[in-house]
Amino acid sequence: MARIATCWTMLVLLLAAELVAARAGLGAVVCVLAVLMVLVIVLGFMQILRAPPLAIIFALGGLFWLAILLALGSLDSFTRTTVPVHDTAPYAPAVR
């Protein structure tokens, strides 16, 4: 019970902090806080540390592959050379 209450309070506080950080325009802080909230849920509600060790391996595996998807998947978009298009139609193809 106490554990659940603590986790709940932590989540609420983190949410409040997120709102403040967003108001202040601190995007990076918001991201960190969001990750912390996820950690509270995984450790506090899902109790991954008390699950069979296999569960931890699976969770880390999923996380690792998620990182690959996001990193290599955005590699091209972030390094692409874009050639300006003359046509100024409202829906130009994705150009930066």
Which spans of this chain sit near another protein (rule: CB under 8 A)?
A: 1, 4-5, 7-8, 11-12, 15, 18-19, 21-25, 27, 30-31, 33-34, 37-38, 41-42, 44-46, 48, 51-52, 54-55, 58-59, 61-63, 65-66, 68-70, 72-81, 90-94, 96
Task: Give min distance, CB of 86 to another protein, in A.
Answer: 16
Judged by beta carbon, residue 63 or residue 86, the one nearer another protein is 63
CA-nearest of 35, 49, 45 to 6 is: 45
Residue type, 11: L
Q: Structure tokens of 76?
A: 């091209």
CA-nearest of 35, 21, 37 to 67 is: 35
